[in-house]
């Protein structure tokens, strides 16, 4: 009896909605209460209405043709990169071998439009080899002198010196593409260990140091 006065509402007013409000919300008393579900819901919802049929027109057909042509072209182009082959994954059919042989063509790039770090490793090496060969002894000695003064600067110099020769070098690369393929497979030479400290300087690790 003592608890009676504690609550604010009494009796029927304890409910959050009265009958009238429930009616406005669309909740009416005489609707059947849903029975308990026994089976899990279907994986996909039922399709309530059929979709509008697609209209086909000559223009659409042409667009379709263009679309398929484009995708087909892209799939055959060097831009389509396949996952690296796992070792021991032999070709199951003779024809697969033939197909694999066809697409060895690689995309050509205008390297001055790309960051230098994206250039293939071999390419960078080439540049350095060439620059090392071309310099005659006197010049090299001078360079070494400079090197003693500030070792950092020469690194940059060699790189930039070589940059304009890009186009000539591309031919050289093509010859050595075979080697590069192998480089892709085995990367024993690379040191992937990283303690996370020298992330800012990591770029330099990509290339071998310049040949002094």
Residues forming contacts to other proteins in the complex (CB under 8 A) are 18, 24, 26, 49, 51-52, 54, 56, 59-60, 62-64, 66-68, 70-71, 73-75, 77, 79-84, 93, 95, 99, 107, 109-110, 112-121, 159-160, 163, 167, 180, 183-184, 187, 190, 199-204, 206
Q: Which residues of 12-35 are buried (b: 16+ CB within 10 A; e: fewer)?
A: eeeeeeeeeeeeeeeeeeeeeeee
Give least dist CB 25 to other proteins, A. Answer: 8
How many CA atoms within 13 Å lie on the side-chain side of 77? 9
**Minimum distance of other proteins from residue 2's CB (angstroms):** 28
* Min CB(63)–other proteins separation in Å: 4
| C-beta closer to other proteins: residue 18 or 141 | 18
Cα 181 to chain centroid, rounded: 20
C-alpha torsion sign, points 209, 121, 135, 153: negative
- Of 63 and 141, nearer to other proteins (C-beta) is 63
């Amino acid at each position: 009896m003592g608890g009676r006065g504690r609550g604010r509402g009494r009796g029927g007013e304890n409910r959050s909605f009265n009958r009238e409000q429930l009616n406005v919300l669309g909740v009416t008393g005489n609707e059947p209460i849903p029975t308990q579900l026994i089976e899990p819901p279907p994986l996909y919802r039922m399709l309530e209405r059929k979709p509008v049929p697609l209209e086909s027109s000559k223009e659409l057909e042409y667009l379709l043709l263009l679309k398929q042509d484009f995708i087909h072209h892209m799939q055959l182009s060097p831009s389509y990169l396949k996952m690296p082959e796992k070792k021991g994954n032999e070709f199951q059919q003779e024809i697969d071998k033939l197909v694999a042989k066809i697409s060895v063509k690689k995309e050509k790039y205008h390297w001055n439009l790309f960051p230098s770090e994206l250039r293939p490793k071999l390419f960078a090496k080439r540049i350095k080899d060439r620059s090392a060969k071309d310099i005659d002894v006197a010049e090299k000695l001078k360079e070494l002198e400079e090197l003693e003064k500030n070792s950092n600067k020469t690194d940059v110099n060699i790189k930039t010196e070589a940059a304009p020769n890009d186009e000539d070098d591309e031919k050289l690369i093509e010859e050595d593409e075979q080697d590069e393929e192998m480089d892709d497979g085995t990367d024993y030479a690379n040191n992937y260990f990283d303690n996370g400290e020298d992330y800012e300087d990591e770029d330099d690790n990509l290339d071998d140091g310049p040949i002094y």
